[in-house]
Structure 1
Amino acid sequence: MAFNVQTFKTRATTAVVFVIIMLAGLLWNHWSFLILFSVVHFGCWVEYQKLIGLIDPEYQKITPIHKYGVMIAGWAFMLFMAGGGYTISNLPLHIIGKVLLLVSGVVLPIWLIFLTKDFSVKTLGYSLLGLLYISVSWGLMIGIRSTGLVAQGSHVFLDTGWIIPIILIASIWINDTMAYIVGSFIGKTPFSKISPKKTWEGTGGGALLCVAVVTLGGYYLFNIKDIATLIVISLIAAIVGTSGDLLESKLKRMAGVKDSGQLMPGHGGFLDRFDSLILATPFVWLYVILFSI
């Protein structure tokens, strides 16, 4: 394929803008983190509903109450997972999320089952899968971010909650990069029919290099002494993250589209950018809850 200067400029520009926005949201404070992933949450939902609608046209007929109600219910779970540092006028955000979650959890099913003529168990099932796939993951991400917040009232005294998310996101990026590089040089054996460009050599080499780079870099460059956590998170990013990429590729193939959306020209949509992180996050949350607190 001939090198296209304009395409390269477009991809490079959008990539730089994306990185700046991500770093600002991740590192500014815990509120910017919540805002960032709230936007990502709704963006993923819009694309998920579009893909499912292409796979099964019946889902395109869902009512606006159904369409947006599940998004609000999922966002309510994110607010529910917010820790003590998230407080508005002395009202903890997780209380607001709990109330909103209870209301949406009662009102939405009643509306869909009893007040909607075109109620379908199948379309409701698609939405429940979306809640598990998207909203639970981003809610658990907020939970991970909240574990490092030490707060009294609305004042945060200590904030280390950004460390684990940064390690995870960096691990996924490093794994993808290393897998691409290794696969480009020595990749010969196809890894999966779902994603023909992936090879066993690239996937395996990328995983090994991801663990090595994240562990050594975290220990020597950033003085993170918890080697076990560095190894576990980078392994999750490499193994589960790759599975997340394949899952989203399968959805796109079933829907007959190349990209899930047009968030970034040349890079795809929200699901394209966050597919690995969506699937890896619950496993990292489980590790944090069981072994790191």
Structure 2
Amino acid sequence: MAEVRRRKGENDASDDAGEKAGEGDKRNSAADSSDHVDSEEEKLPEDKFVDELSKTLPQGTDKTPEILDSALKDLPDRWKNYVIRGIFTWIMICGFALIIYGGPLALMITTLLVQVKCFQEIISIGYQVYRIHGLPWFRSLSWYFLLTSNYFFYGENLVDYFGVVINRVEYLKFLVTYHRFLSFALYCIGFVWFVLSLVKKYYMKQFSLFAWTHVSLLIVVTQSYLIIQNIFEGLIWFIVPVSMIVCNDVMAYMFGFFFGRTPLIKLSPKKTWEGFIGGGFATVIFGIIFSYILCNYQYFVCPILYSEELGRMTMACEPSYLFTKQDYSLSVFGIGKSLSMYPFVWHSVALSLFSSIIGPFGGFFASGFKRAFKIKDFGDMIPGHGGIMDRFDCQFLMATFVNVYISSFIRTPAPSKILTQIYNLKPEQQLQIFQSLKESLGDLITN
């Protein structure tokens, strides 16, 4: 009886296997007839090659110059990392000060170089995924889209701030008038290129990495475009927010290192509430003091404009209301007191609160991204810190906030932008505007 039951079970199992095989054949035939179904091996992301990726990608904090490594070999790993991180933090701060001394052009070039390096570090991870499957053109397409994105966004900046001058050069007027059309045409070339590069049974992988490229562009290129706009509003709108993020990062690390006990977020286990709160208080105090100091210097507070008379960029101006001391009356416990302060300092409090409360979430986002691929850092360019992206993950979020803050609460219509639009009108439309202005300003013109 046992033998009969065993044979019956084997027959039932073989029948079930036959039915499953039949269903499998149907599924396979359906997969063969449909080009958009990926093979079983194409699931994203698979642990079998995530581990392999983590070995091939650089681990920045593990890379230390031999001189420092030998000098600090007797220190515990915790203190060794603290010293290395501190040394290269001061090197970066001094380098940043030198770039500021170089002026707006040096800052803009640095922003562009940082943008390119950050993009390279993000895309290199995607490229490792892509290379495993031997798929074509991913890296070339990624850099092409970076080029076209920069042409569009940086071209917009040139049109906004130099449109009046460019319009007077006949062979450049075409580039201003049709800038957006040319940018879209360049993007279409990349779009067609991508479609032609699609490989059967790898469509899901390729479209995932296409999205990867575009999200990287959104994070990196658009943010650097906003940074450039902030610089044109006055160096103070760039230097103060960047310094706040640096201060918050350093002080949160210091407070966490010496007093940290309570974990803050699972994405970044080393972050603590003590570091988060201590870094926040330090950033607010630093922001008030640093902003007050910079407000005293015309070099930092004046917007950057192109002077037609001088034929170059100029930063000479009469400081606006924001950077002119105002008297404020304060009453504390019934005791009145007068305080003379720059209005910008009050705005700096809002900037410092954002940099210390919301800014760190840019770092948490980057931590989650790195944990997904089991890597410590985006690169190995800066010992003790990792890659460029590891240091600028919070800066890009801050840049967006500053730009939104300026456009919402600070900026007024710019005459240069209005003139650029007027120059693009037909002669009869320009004449109509001239007549309207002449009528409304008649008394002033007569006087």
Sort the TM-score into its range (normalised by shorter chain): 0.7 to 0.9
- 1:211 counterpart (284, 287, 290): 284
CA–CA distance in 2 between the matches of 1:174 and 1:97?
Answer: 39
Partner of 1:42: 116
DSSP 3-state at the match of 1:117:
coil
DSSP 3-state at the match of 1:260:
coil
Q: Deviations over 1:43-102 (max 9, x none)?
A: 01110012334577679845143121122133224413425259789659x949756633
Counting only pairs closer than 5 Å after superposition, residues 89-238 of structure 1 correspond to structure 2 as 95=176, 98=180, 101-113=183-195, 115-118=196-199, 120-146=206-232, 148=233, 161-219=234-292, 222-223=295-296, 225=342, 226-238=344-356
Name the Cα RMSD after superposition: 3.2
CA–CA distance in 2 between the matches of 1:37 and 1:62?
Answer: 30
CA–CA distance in 2 between the matches of 1:291 and 1:60?
Answer: 51
Q: Say if 1:77 and 1:136, in contact at 8 Å, map to a contact too.
A: no
- 1:84 counterpart (161, 184, 188): 161
Pairs aligned (count): 278
Q: Say if 1:51 and 1:251, in contact at 8 Å, map to a contact too.
A: no
CA–CA distance in 2 between the matches of 1:169 and 1:285?
Answer: 13
DSSP 3-state at the match of 1:266:
coil
CA–CA distance in 2 between the matches of 1:288 and 1:77?
Answer: 22
DSSP 3-state at the match of 1:251:
helix
Structure 2's unaligned 5+ residue stretches are 1-73, 297-322, 324-341, 412-447
DSSP 3-state at the match of 2:265:
coil
TM-score by length of 2: 0.55
DSSP 3-state at the match of 1:191:
strand
Q: Deviations over 1:217-266 (max 9, x none)?
A: 32267445112320121122112320111111111111221121122233
Q: Say if 1:25 and 1:35, in contact at 8 Å, map to a contact too.
A: no
CA–CA distance in 1 between the matches of 2:384 and 2:144?
Answer: 31
Distance 1:187 1:7, change over 3 A: closer
Counting only pairs closer than 5 Å after superposition, residues 21-60 of structure 1 correspond to structure 2 as 21-53=95-127
CA–CA distance in 2 between the matches of 1:141 and 1:194?
Answer: 28
CA–CA distance in 1 between the matches of 2:388 and 2:143?
Answer: 17
CA–CA distance in 2 between the matches of 1:27 and 1:100?
Answer: 36
Q: Say if 2:240 and 2:290, in contact at 8 Å, map to a contact too.
A: no
Q: Deviations over 1:134-157 (max 9, x none)?
A: 1111111111112x2xxxxxxxxx
| CA-CA distance at 1:276 after TM superposition | 0.8
Q: Say if 2:284 and 2:349, in contact at 8 Å, map to a contact too.
A: yes
CA–CA distance in 1 between the matches of 2:260 and 2:243?
Answer: 23
Partner of 2:435: none
CA–CA distance in 2 between the matches of 1:32 and 1:99?
Answer: 30
Distance 1:81 1:231, change over 3 A: farther
Partner of 2:403: 285
CA–CA distance in 2 between the matches of 1:139 and 1:182?
Answer: 33
TM-score by length of 1: 0.81
Choose 167-176 or 61-70, whichever is displaced more: 61-70
Partner of 2:48: none
Distance 1:126 1:185, change over 3 A: same
Distance 1:215 1:85, change over 3 A: farther
Q: Which has the larger radius of gyration?
A: 2
One-letter identity of the residue aligned with 1:133? I
CA–CA distance in 1 between the matches of 2:133 and 2:358?
Answer: 28
- 2:381 counterpart (231, 239, 263): 263
Q: Say if 1:72 and 1:104, in contact at 8 Å, map to a contact too.
A: no
Structure 1's unaligned 5+ residue stretches are 149-160
One-letter identity of the residue aligned with 1:47? E
Choose 35-44 or 45-54, whichever is displaced more: 45-54
Choose 211-220 or 122-131, whichever is displaced more: 211-220
CA–CA distance in 2 between the matches of 1:23 and 1:99?
Answer: 39
One-letter identity of the residue aligned with 1:84? Y
Distance 1:8 1:247, change over 3 A: closer
| CA-CA distance at 1:18 after TM superposition | 3.1
